[in-house]
Amino acid sequence: MAILDSKVPKGPIKDKWTTYKDKINLVNPANKRHIDVIVVGTGLAGGSAAATLAELGYNVKAFAYQDSPRRAHSIAAQGGINAAKNYMGDGDSNYRLFYDTVKGGDYRSREANVYRLAEVSANIIDQCVAQGVPFARDYGGLLDNRSFGGVLVSRTFYAKGQTGQQLLLGAYSAMNRQIARGKIEMFNRHEMLDVVKIDGKARGIIARNLVTGEIERHSAHAVVIATGGYGNVYFLSTNAMGSNATAAWKIHKKGAFFANPCFTQIHPTCIPRTGDYQSKLTLMSESLRNDGRIWVPKKLEDAKKLQKGEIKPTQIAEEDRDYYLERRYPAFGNLVPRDVASRAAKERCDAGYGVNATGEAVYLDFASAIERYGKEQAKIHNISNPSKQKIYDLGKAIVEAKYGNLFQMYEKIVDENPYKTPMMIYPATHYTMGGVWVDYNLMTTVDGLYCIGEANFSDHGANRLGASALMQGLADGYFVLPYTIGDYLSHEIRTGKIPTDTPEFDEAEKEVKDRINFFINNEGKHSVDYYHKKLGKIMWDKVGMARNEKGLKEAIAEIKALREEFWKDVKVPGGANELNPELEKAGRVADFLELGELFAMDALNRNESCGGHFREESVEQDGEQKGEAKRNDAEYAYVAAWEYKGEPSDAVLHKEQLEFKDIELKQRSYK
């Protein structure tokens, strides 16, 4: 049995990263030009890594399935990026960001990785400002901050509701500089379909040119996976429809352990689904919870009228509204962490208080924020006795300046003006905290194979705090991997070019071609989407926001049966040697069908509630925390790292015991 070695440096937590950097092996500039690195995925993690590695002098091959790195799903991130700069003077620090992240993740993350993340967070902002990222600024021209869920300080830097897009453009510009210099060779519209191992080390990949269908071999001294999360295992999610888990799952099948797959985040502020024929869901930034108040009617009869469209929310009197997050969690109110807010919304809707036709929606209301800002502006402008309309106009202008593009997006989708009618929101699958297991160096259990950003498991435990995804992606890409990969590559300076005409490349290419030929030639009855939707329904119903033993066992059996049916009856039109989106989807859904079963197995194995993983058998029965998640630190304070052994049901569990030396393990309370 393999033993997990996290390779966390010795010494005090505040000194670990500095001491580590002082003592690792380096590659001198003259040798870097002889070393090749493959980076798969060019979102924030992959783009920043590719740009930085090329800047250092390595030869980088970067792969993106989109037509440009600018199209990576990182572009969709809205609300902001965390950094412990304490610009607001409200008591923030590296330690507080570290503490909030570990607590927010319900004490299921590795302390050393999280402290390093907090430590380098401030550098990210400086790097991005230097790249020209247009962060919001206050009236004096200084960078502005806002608050996000699960914290008591304002540490989130933002660019309106387009933070991901602006940060990605910064990374993309850094990449373009290296592409022009010839240090990055860019492969757009290419999908990695397998990793190649030689003598136990990752030495290259097999990729498909998505335009021509050509299968290509690419070699390197190290391979970096930065392909994001696996939220689309649910079919309906806030992820782009092309987001997939194929690269991560392929490396899992070649020896990289997969950690904590059941740790998946349900985001509380998404536009509710409207029927059975949607292909994805749309995120509304968590930053809206700074000023929006979440409520449902107090009276069941009012909820029924709203569901039938007989009344409007503005007709419900203030005293007949239940601001349930403010009622239950007075210390944090509407800014509780995502998992807490999501479960609370589900509980109210399950009790019959949902406010749209499906009964699966709550209100996010900006009326009081508009009034508050309007009165404040009237005083600033010395307007005495302002009319209600004047207060509304002044307040609306402030809200529009802060969130205007988000409101515009909501109105285009829902066809309602959110300034006048409260937004409707409901939880949706968003982010995956689980992923490929990595050590402190961000290396997987395969030598020379690294995994960064959302694709790995390392920083968020059982629940990610808002605005921390962009922080982790850029920390890994700009400031962590470029150091840690050098330590490994220092032993590769005499290796020379890796040839691709070897039996290992032959075998990997044959496996890829055989699978493609199967899909093209299989005379099935149903489309790929038919199976993906069925998988998504099983996952949402039985492995969704709330899980129990009976449902998880049913899910495992149902997913296995669905997978068997898929391989018999899937139909993929078109050919292999052409642009064929259905063929692309077939391979991705085949991987989801395996990952989904392991996901449910992991959820069944973890018989506790923590973060985004909520087991109905494990809740507090009494006291102030009654009804809240009940963690079991005695038995489950570990990372569950699964080793591939064939069928998902044959996977072997390895445990990395988590140690908490700098933060006290205690009940997570936001009351």
Which residues are within 8 A (CB) of 390 and not within 5 positions of it... i.e. 6 or more apart?
Answer: 374, 378, 383
Q: Are strands 362-365 and 215-219 parallel, antiparallel or unpaired?
A: unpaired
CATH of the domain at 586: 1.20.58.100
Report the alpha-carbon distance of residue 401 to residue 69 in Å, rounded: 29
Query: Residue 479: which residues within 8 A CB-CB, separation 6 or more?
Result: 120, 123, 124
Are β-strands 201-209 and 81-82 bridged in parallel, bridged antiparallel, or unpaired?
unpaired
Give CA torsion, residues 281, 284, 289, 291, to 10 deg. -140
pLDDT digits (tens, 9 = 90+) for 496-518: 999 999 999 999 999 999 999 99
pLDDT digits over 300-328, tens only?
999 999 999 999 999 999 999 999 999 99
pLDDT over 80 at 275, yes or no: no
pLDDT digits (tens, 9 = 90+) for 648-668: 999 999 999 999 999 999 988
308, part of any domain: yes
Q: Are strands 36-40 and 59-63 parallel, antiparallel or unpaired?
A: parallel
Q: Is the pLDDT of residue 621 over 60?
A: yes
Give the mean pLDDT of the chain: 96
Residue 99: inside a domain, yes or no?
no
Note the pLDDT of residue 1. Answer: 39
Task: List, in order, residues 6 or more apart from 538 with CB less than 8 Å away.
Answer: 555, 558, 559, 562, 596
Residue 645, pLDDT above cutoff 90? yes
Which residue carries 């304002």 as its tokens? 154
pLDDT surpassing 60 at residue 582: yes
The beta-strand segments (E) located in 113-200 are 156-157, 184-187, 190-198
Q: Is residue 625 part of a domain?
A: yes
Question: Quick one: 642 and 549 in the same domain?
Answer: yes
CA distance 208 to 205: 10
- pLDDT, residue 88, reads 94
Question: Is the residue at 285 inside a domain?
Answer: yes
- Per-residue pLDDT, averaged over 601-615, amounts to 97
555 and 418 in a common domain: no
Residue 68 pLDDT exceeds 80: yes
Torsion angle of alpha carbons 477, 243, 271, 365, nearest 10°? Answer: 0
Q: How confident is the model at residue 432 (pLDDT cuts 50, 70, 90)?
A: very high
pLDDT at 612: 94
CB 62 within 8 A of CB 174: no
Q: What is the pLDDT of residue 433?
A: 98
**pLDDT tens digits for range 15-30:** 999 999 999 999 999 9
515 with 625, same domain: the answer is yes
CB atoms under 10 Å from CB of 315, counted, come to: 11
**Per-residue model confidence (pLDDT) at position 670:** 85
The last residue of a domain, from among 393, 409, 427: 427
DSSP type of residue 132: T
Direct distance between the N- and C-terminal alpha carbons of the chain, in angstroms, rounded to an integer: 43
State how far the Cα of 295 lies from the Cα of 304, in Å rounded to an integer. Answer: 15
Q: How many CB atoms lie within 10 A of CB 607?
A: 14
Looking at the fold, whether 535 and 637 belong to one and the same domain comes out as: yes
Residue 499 within a domain: no
Same domain? 552 vs 641 = yes
| Structural domain contains residue 165 | no
Residues 420 and 551 in one domain: no
Cβ neighbours of residue 17 under 8 Å, at least 6 residues apart? 9, 115, 116, 119, 120
pLDDT band at 2 (very low <50, low <70, confident <90, very high): low
Q: Give the CB-side neighbour count of residue 419, counting CA atoms within 13 A.
A: 19
528 shares its domain with 406: no
Structure token digits, residue 222: 């190290």
Say if residue 422 is in the same domain as residue 511. Answer: no
Domain count, the chain: 2
34, part of any domain: no
3-state secondary structure of 119: helix
Among the candidates 427, 446, 470, a domain finishes at 427
What residues are annotated to the active site? 338
Quote the CA–CA distance of 338 and 432 in Å, as a whole number: 13
Q: Is the pLDDT of residue 579 over 50?
A: yes
- Verify that 387 and 531 share a domain, yes or no: no
If DSSP codes are grouped into helix, strand and coil, which group holds residue 649? helix
CA–CA distance, 633 with 626 (Å, rounded to integer): 18
Q: Where are the beta strands (DSSP E) in 177-287?
A: 184-187, 190-198, 201-209, 215-219, 222-225, 258-259, 264-270
Q: What are the tokens at 3?
A: 């033993």
> In which domain, by residue range, is 605 found?
506-657
For the beta sheet containing 321-322, the strands, ordered from the edge strand earlier in sequence to the opposite edge, are: 264-270, 423-432, 362-365, 293-297, 321-322
For residue 543, the SS3 value is: coil
Q: Are residues 634 and 511 in the same domain?
A: yes
The pair of structure tokens assigned to 658 is: 């988590």
- Residues 512, 621: one domain? yes
Q: Tell me whether residue 311 is in a domain.
A: yes
% of the chain with per-residue pLDDT over 90: 94
Give 507-561 pLDDT, tens digit per residue.
999 999 999 999 999 999 999 999 999 999 999 999 999 999 999 999 999 999 9
Local confidence band at 639 (pLDDT 50, 70, 90 cut-offs): very high
Nearest to 665 by CA among 647, 625, 640, 638: 638
Same structural domain, 511 and 423: no
3-state secondary structure of 256: coil
Q: Which residue has the higher pLDDT, 277 or 82?
A: 82
DSSP 390-450: HHHHHHHHHHHHHHHHHHHHHHHHH-S-TTTSPEEEEEEEEEES-EE---TTSB-SSBTEE
Q: Which of 427, 446, 462 is the last residue of a domain?
A: 427
